[in-house]
Chains A and B, each alone.
Chain A
Amino acid sequence: MKKQLLVAAIENGTVIDHIPSEKLFAVVNLLHLDQMTSAVTIGYNLESQELGKKSIIKMADKFFTDEELNQLAVICPNLTLCIIRDYEIAEKRTVTLPDELRGIVRCTNPKCITNNEPMHTHFHTIEGQRLRCHYCNTVISLDDVRLVEKA
């Protein structure tokens, strides 16, 4: 039987490939894909030589800002994205952790003001792939990051 792509190619938009499957739904939440009106194809637990299981997201007619995409570095530091124009890969992008993250990551300190007041969290990126809470100074390793739950 002939091998076929499980998800169709898109004319214009953004493709995020090689997402570790356990991170897929965090990426979906972070990019607010539930609020998109254009076609979104999500492939989950696909075979991957590199990752074992991988996931892929194809978003038609959707282009993100650098700021939006760099937020992904919090959950997938080595993610690669393809910007598609006219069925061709127009640009390949890697994500880089931004200096500041607002409203993305939850503070692990239960006594932090951000966990007790209706407000956005705010973190600064510091050495060693770690984040420091702008308010209570708690330092979190990227491995322990929990995202803010969207209402």
Chain B
Amino acid sequence: MSQPPKEVIKFEVNGRTVEVAVRPYDVLLDVLRNELDLIGTKRGCDQGSCGCCAIHMDGRPVLSCLTLAKWAAGKKITTIEGLANPEPHPLQTAFETCGATQCGFCTPGFIMSAKALLDRNAEPDEATIKEHISGNVCRCTGYLQIVEAVQKASEELLEKDRPHDASVVERNRQTHPAGR
């Protein structure tokens, strides 16, 4: 049986516009890892059950193993590689200092999930954080230090009140119309 033909799609990934040829059944995870060398996004299960492949599509968290690549056409994708800018995001440093990363394989997925939460809820309580990350599997940490890291990052972001990336700049501009 011969393989169906490829189709060229265009999308933005971490601020850069890319064009890739994909087959109809290709999932975004494969395209990110194999075509674009964005290996920070991990493959843990291929069935949306571990969260290791979480990325953002137009600012919303999605599991790239369950997302057909062609759905990315025209969209803005952010992967773990797009978070450090160039200094690491407070979530990234908090994961380090709280001991929220051990083997690290689940870490990119957790950070992308947590970032999606903090982007729309700057001060989530513990229960909200736990609920939000319950689709991500970590077998090393027992989760508590991950929750702690998300809390710490949230505090840091609020405290510094400094825009970190474009979406936060935009949000802050809306919240503080006078600008800063």
A and B assemble together: no
Interface residues of A (CB under 8 A from B): none
